[in-house]
Chain A
Amino acid sequence: MIAQVYFWIFAAIAAACALGVMLSRHPINGAMSLIGTMVSLAGIFSLIASPFMATLQVLVYAGAVMMLVVFVIMVLNCAKDHSTPLFDGAGLFGVLPAAALGALLVRVFVGLDKQATVAMNPQAPRGDVDAISKTLFGAGQHTGGWALLFLAVGILLLTAIVGAVLLAKRHLDSPSEPATIEGGH
């Protein structure tokens, strides 16, 4: 019962923050809202027996990735964006597919919910470090090849770092110049 109450609180925060991401004018505000969403999601993760993921969510996402984003925002020093409207005509065109997709998802989920076959499995193991690491690195018949994928992700991250360095290299090499304040054009 208490879990439900927590869930509703977290869900409300997450949803509100998601709207905040969508609607805020300044990137910093958006980033902060996003962090809020992520933290709330971490809470929900732990509510549904996934403590490891909850931890990762906070550490990697909210902690590392978003820090990076905020950092870049600060580097570019993009002030509040007044020059471009928040929404415009072309944007309306984007509402339609989003709404369509949303409707589709809701329809599918509600439909699934009505089928009795889909129900919570109380025996499902908790997603704690032990279980996940066994799954990831365990050797045996039912390992599913996660280890290989894990290695691949490692390579991906390495590549991403190299790529990021290369992309930003000109910026790093070039003599420092006053950063342009205004975003937009």
Chain B
Amino acid sequence: MERFLWLVPALPALGFIINGVLSLAGSRTANGPSRGLSGFFAVLFPLVSFILVVKLHLDLQAAQESVRSINQNLGLNLAVPTSITQELWSWIATGDINLSFGFAFDGLTSVMLLFITGIGALIHLYSIGYMAHDRGFARFMAYMNLFLASMIVLVLGNGPVVTFLGWEGVGLCSYLLIGFWHHDNANGDAARKAFLVNRVGDLGFLLGLFLLWQIVGASTPLTYEAISAWFRDPANATTLATGGVAAMLTLATLLLFLGCTGKSAQIPLVTWLPDAMAGPTPVSALIHAATMVTSGVFLLARMSDVFAHAPITMQVIAWVGAATAAWAAITGLFQNDIKKILAYSTVSQLGFMFLAAGVGAFDSGLFHVFTHAFFKAVLFLGAGAVIHALGGEQDVRKMGGLVKKLPLTFAAMFAGWYAITGLPLGAGFWSKDLILEKVLAQGGPVLYGIALATAVVTAVYMTRLMILTFWSPSRVDHEVEHHIHEAPLSMQVPLWILGIGSLFAGFVWAGMMPGWDWFPRQFAYVVQPAQDLLVHGEHHGPSVLLLAGVGVGAAIAGILLAFGLFKAGRFGEHGTGELSGAARAWTLLWDHVHTVFGIVPTRIVSWILDKICQPLLNGIVRLLAYLVELVGLVVQWLQRSRLRVNLAMSVFGLVAVLIILARDLL
């Protein structure tokens, strides 16, 4: 089976090529390329990939099981296989560097891939309906397939450099898809911003990688397996303890984390994600909610052994996560664009995940990634269905009363809302409470307080969204109102599946019920050593049930608050203007930071270079040229003027020669 590992990313890549060719070939025809053909391929390949992943997952399980049973029966101590690996070819081999292009499929990968390909396939299906009337249908599908391929490479890569290939690949697809409707320059700007902000993070990733590589030494191959092994090796503990190496490791992990903040839209590189909503809604669901933006958390878990050795970095991660979660949640309160609300919600939830990772609960963070993928995907797809029904309207102030018109969509979104607010037994309930519990135990009361407050605010803005969209009286324009219709089946099916998922996905790790821990078991061997390193001894805090009660209480408090505030139509319902005042300043806080510290200095320096240094240099060269010309004029005059002068010059030459010849006599 491992021989076919490469097929998992290759199939969507093939889909990209087929759809790309279709798109180009059909670009000259009147109706554009065939949607049926294009859609078929676009969904087929992710689906086959998903099936392949399931099969691989089962194979891995079976292999592990068989080794375990052999060990048990025969009393042996054989190593349990942790991964299926495939090295395809030697990628970069020169000097000290020896990188192979290969994939490694283990528990962590399989969990990630299961929902990436699964949800990915569903969203592709949804896109067929959503994009049906768009001329760029095949192009869209091509990009989506390429994204999926890149994402799979990101997760499946056997080392950080292969991951980086996918890392930038998903960034590219994000760029292409945000700017998908490229006739509007604003979309292009948003896309460019996303790419550039990500590039800042990517540079951090690369530099961090260099430092990391310096720490582990050139003889250690750059694969996750080898790096983890190096950090777990007790022999290296003394090396790590020395001051220089420890500082270097802190810097390395901080830089790697910078990469994660770029991809996962954390402070300070948070600004691009809300703008990224300029892309089509399925893109927001797949890339900017469910999969790509969580790759930062994935990387933290992947390299948990490394991060666990850098306590300062872990502190930074936790605080950055908490700050982002709080900031984004508050920002979400002010937004009127349905997708922007969800975008800030995504940022906030990502903050939760980083908070979890930062306090040393990598598995809880990943669990939230998993549940979040379901409920945020369904929320986005539901929002997409609403936008679709309203003919492109995204302003929640112009919605309302849709619960009767779009019952099916409402049901799906309700499931998503139920999950994200953390009401009991929904997907978010399990993961969020787990995080809160871990934060209290390992991060202290301050972080817990921030997280809890954020949970309240989360419930407020999500409930506001639901009220303004579905429950309040209709404010929809009359012309639009006649055309409101439920989405086609291809959009409905993914909604239902994901809706059900967001209600029940949490049961893969129902912390309160012993035995319901399929999820963390999958990749325990990846993150457990790191977590053990960070957590010393058993923590005796409030009981799990009490904490869950507090969490649910926070959610209910938030919901009630929202009903109190918005049912009466207090703010945000009326008016159509842009944000203003403090709300605007708060929303654009980090944009301003980027402008002041990044963009403006760059602009100034480049302006100085172009408008001052360049002409100056040019002037110097001109001056030199004029000097040469001047000399030329003089020489020309000498040549042209007098016989005697010419003669005098040759005598000068004669004297010079004589001086050289007679230098012994002088």
Contacts and interface: CB of A to CB of B under 8 A. Distances in A.
Contacts of A90: 641-642, 644-645
B658 A104 contact: yes
Interface in B596-641: 641
Contact of A97 (B642, B652, B665): B652
Contacts of A151: none
Contact of B659 (A96, A104, A112): A104
B662 A101 contact: no
A104 B655 contact: yes
B645 A112 contact: no
B201 to A, nearest CB: 71
Contacts of B642: 90
B645 A111 contact: no
A94 interface: yes
A107 B645 CA distance: 25
B1 interface: no
A94 B655 contact: no
Interface in A89-118: 90-91, 93-94, 96-98, 100-101, 104, 107-108, 111-112
Given A90-B641, A107-B666, A108-B666, A96 B654 contact: no
Contacts of B588: none
B666 A97 contact: no
B651 interface: yes
How extensive is the interface on chain B, given as a class?
A: 10 to 19
Nearest to A99: B655
Interface of A is mostly: helix
A94 B644 CA distance: 7
Nearest to A97: B651
Give the interface size class of chain A.
10 to 19
Contacts of A101: 651, 654-655, 658
Interface string A56-100: 000000000000000000000000000000000011011011101
B644 to A, nearest CB: 6
Given A90-B642, A94-B645, A96-B648, A108 B655 contact: no
A98 B651 contact: yes
A94 B647 contact: yes
B645 A93 contact: yes
Given A101-B655, A104-B655, A104-B658, A94 B648 contact: yes
A138 B391 CA distance: 124
A107 B666 CA distance: 7
A91 to B, nearest CB: 7
A100 B657 CA distance: 12
A29 B652 CA distance: 30
A100 B647 CA distance: 14
Contacts of A97: 648-649, 651-652, 654-655
Interface in A152-185: none
B653 to A, nearest CB: 9
Contacts of A107: 665-666
B638 to A, nearest CB: 9
B634 to A, nearest CB: 12
Given A107-B666, A108-B662, A111-B665, A100 B655 contact: yes
B665 A93 contact: no
Nearest to B659: A104
A94 B646 CA distance: 9
Interface of A: 90-91, 93-94, 96-98, 100-101, 104, 107-108, 111-112
17 contacts: A90-B642, A93-B644, A93-B648, A94-B645, A94-B648, A94-B651, A96-B648, A97-B648, A97-B649, A97-B652, A100-B651, A100-B655, A101-B654, A101-B655, A101-B658, A107-B666, A108-B662
